[in-house]
């Protein structure tokens, strides 16, 4: 999303939340919001949003890749390993 790339995080967050209000079943919107939170350093928020995306579509490898990265940053090695295993299962 252009606003994220231009580091206009407030505008990007506003648009993504509006999109979720209208289309709460789109996992990709949650993924984008999670990536935004990750860029902002809001790792716990990013994890929570990505877990919602995973609830919608547990077969999306991007969700598991991003969760693994976030868990690693949060020093949650066991959770990161679980997500990496899921990622490997989905991408083989």
Nearest to 36 by CA among 67, 15, 13, 11: 13
**CA angle at 63 for the pair 57 and 67, rounded to the nearest 5°:** 135
Cα distance between residue 80 and residue 13, in whole Å: 26
* pTM for the predicted model, two decimal places: 0.90
Q: What is the mean pLDDT of each run of 10 residues along the chain (92 residues)?
A: 66 95 97 96 98 98 98 98 97 90
Question: pLDDT at position 1, please?
Answer: 55
CATH class for the region spanning 2-91: mainly alpha
């Amino acid at each position: 999303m252009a606003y994220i790339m231009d580091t206009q995080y407030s505008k990007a967050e506003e648009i993504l939340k509006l999109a979720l209000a209208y289309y709460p079943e789109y996992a990709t919107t949650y993924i984008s919001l999670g990536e935004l939170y990750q860029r902002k350093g809001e790792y716990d928020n990013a994890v929570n949003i990505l877990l919602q995306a995973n609830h919608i579509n547990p077969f999306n490898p991007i969700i598991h890749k991003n969760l693994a990265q976030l868990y690693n940053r949060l020093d949650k090695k066991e959770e990161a390993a679980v997500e990496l295993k899921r990622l490997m299962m989905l991408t083989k």
